[in-house]
Structure 1
């Protein structure tokens, strides 16, 4: 996997990092939102399917006890207005119970609980019928008969109703407890899953980012070190990074340039040595030719007696000049070839500099892309804040439930003995509300942890941005090294062009000397008839030999300077 990623271009490496990070953060956010939705549904279900039915059945019991109390009070009072008011209150409680029973029927109850509701309705019809009779006795002032009928007919039915409601309340409490346990298990499971997904995603994202950054920065540092060594004169360095990305292409171009530079330096070194040796030979030959010409000039007065010696010396001078001309032509040819290679190397160095500039643009693009990724991570932190708002809503629901439980406890206290049974139910409701609040607090803590880890991820992206900026600086330095190498090669090429020009000049001078020597040979054959022409030719030869000697010294100096320039390079 890493080998394949290494051969991918830098832009695709960055896109891989960006898309992987986006997918990871979407996965984390989606997981969190999914479980937040589930918890919200569980809290709503607990409130609607557990808390409200318990509240309704408890209120029905309280209302029934209140009706009993009001009916007994009607039997005891003698004031008609009071009896009428009590009768209206009884009707209100009965109507309230009927509405509560309808709500219970419409809630999510199991078969057993619905059966109890049916039983309650059947007994309640009898209860209301008998209660109306008791109310009529009370309204007519027959308290004794009403009390007797109450104890005989109404009280047994009321006790059955209380038993049914009590059993229904126990069933509802058991269901609420089971629902709460399931909610707690689901809450624990969601916390573990979110935490595991977040940790795995964070480790994967940071690890992938480190790997990709190292794949980009480390090879650039190696190239920089190699360029520094090349700048210091070590042309034997070779880049060993092999890849299909831009850095691999840059390394290949660098190796090709170093290979051409080594070949050029070897060729220049050999040619400079050859130039130095040839210049020494040329100087020696020029001196010998000068001496020979002087001897010819001194003996021109004795042409008759020393003609053979003069012809021999002239032939030797001609041979030496021919060898010298051949060497000079070879030097000129080699200097021209070296100059051509130097220009080619300069062009390669310019190509390497263009590759460096392209790499700088890619690294700048990396810097912009990592900054955009940092904004994406910060956006995830903002989404975590939205999740926190949802948790606050859940906490608000739990608080409202707790207030309902408190109100129920107050109502049960007002009901006196009749409300003692319901106070236990209210306490259970309050406990459920507190557990919901604790769960919401745990979720809030988890959201805070996610926000903290998100900040860590943002810091990691900022560190990556810093490292990429360092990579840009490294590439800038590499570009400067390429420019210095290109300048050095241009200097060598200029000096080689000077050497080539000097060699061409020497070649022309040697041709002139050769022609003079040939002319001198002809004059020697006709020494008797052309002594004045011989003297003039010898003077011209002496002048040419002086020019050749001066050019040879200049060529030797150039060769020595060139060798000094080359000596600082290691090939």
Structure 2
């Protein structure tokens, strides 16, 4: 039902009882005017009945007034916005005011419900987008964590290889130093051998010189024996000329000649021995010279080898130091990789927690949207 004067919509059942009461009161008033005192007994009954209705109307007015407390119920408004009698008009105006207020509240609730639905939809879209991004972030974080675990394992393996390299370099350094010491001792031995060969060469040369002196002495003895042989031959000739008187002298001369011949034979043997000794000495001198030259060459080569080995020792030492530094650096990198891996695991756990919270927020947004939709339907039905 809609009021024609002010255009305020009212429910049709709200004033059904007031219309009935108004009809009864109007009938009573007409009866009083028309019948005056002719129908006094019935009038008394009607009056009692009217009093009863008036009492009930007053009680109903109080109840409705309490229900519509705070509504616009000024008497002037009742005369302006209603054609009904005083209390009925007040009730009608109060009901219209309350209905208008309720309509405004419901409209505001509907608008806010629509806004909540709109915001919840936006929040749901944003939450779904955030959930998707969190899922992607969690997936990428897990991939990075897996890659870091693989890199950590690789770094650990590299660290082991570098440590093995460092140990091998240390062992190579130790072996090179041992080889250098052995080479130094060999060099000293070769140097001693070269000195000994030099001494032998000098001794052989001295022996060769002495054998030449012996050869000269033997030559002199041979010459003396030859002269003695000639003298003995001359003495034998002279003894033969002397005849019987020179026979004893001839025997002596013959013995001297034999002795001279034997001396010449011995000197020839000495010459042969000296010649063999000289030849052997010359060969020994040549061998000693070759040995000295070989020893000198060996010393030079061993010295070069020692220098090369010392350079190798220096290089191996540098490699060993670098390997130790690399092992320390790789070990530090391994610790850093493990720290990063642990941080990535924590980030992944945080991402999982954030995803759970985002899922909960998504569910809350969906529930809020459902509640907003239900509230909107209730408001529409109530209006």
| TM-score normalized with structure 1 length | 0.34
Which structure would you say has the larger RCO, counting Cα contacts within 8 Å and 6 or more residues apart? Answer: 2
